[in-house]
Amino acid sequence: MQLDPAGGIPLYLQIVDQFRAARLSGRYRPGDRIPPVRELALALRINPNTVAKAYRQLQAEGVLESRPGGGNFIASTPETALAAERQQRLHELLVSLLAETDSLHIPREQVLNALQYEIKQGEQQ
């Protein structure tokens, strides 16, 4: 996990986003134990309260479940909910991409052509 202290996004939200992405990608599966607060804080060289805040948010969202004396684990989530989250994440990425390319005055048709080209390149690998 890597954080960008100068990125303008609070560190705890960066942690939240990275755990969400790891769960959606399958890197973390339901029942997987995540690092304890102090361990992750030490590895990231940040205040443990920042990690604890991220974990509380993830628990409130149902991404994590806490087991007294056992730590924090990735919660079980129905595949339909994960599919909906993936679709939402795709939407957010596309909106961000289009906002960036619009600000650079890149025509949408050029963006579409570039995206199609990259998809074809990925299929050939």
Residue 4's contacts (CB-CB under 8 Å, 6 or more residues apart) are 14
Domain boundaries, the chain: 11-74, 79-124
Count of helix runs (H) and strand runs (E) in the chain = 5, 2
User: To the nearest 10°, the Cα dihedral for 93, 94, 100, 103?
Assistant: -150
Residue 119, pLDDT above cutoff 80 = yes
For residue 65, the surrounding DSSP H or E stretch is strand 64-67
Residue 125, pLDDT above cutoff 80 = no
User: To the nearest 10°, the Cα dihedral for 107, 109, 112, 118?
Assistant: -80
Give the distance from CA 92 to its chain's centroid: 12
11-74, CATH topology level: Arc Repressor Mutant, subunit A (1.10.10)
69 token code pair: 């004396």
* Spatial contact of 74 and 34, defined as CB atoms under 8 Å apart: yes
What average pLDDT score do residues 63-86 get?
A: 89
Q: How does residue 19 score in pLDDT terms, banded at 50, 70 and 90?
A: very high
Interval 29-73: pLDDT, tens: 999 999 999 999 999 999 999 999 999 999 999 999 998 888 999
- Angle made by CA atoms 101, 88, 27, in degrees to the nearest 5: 100
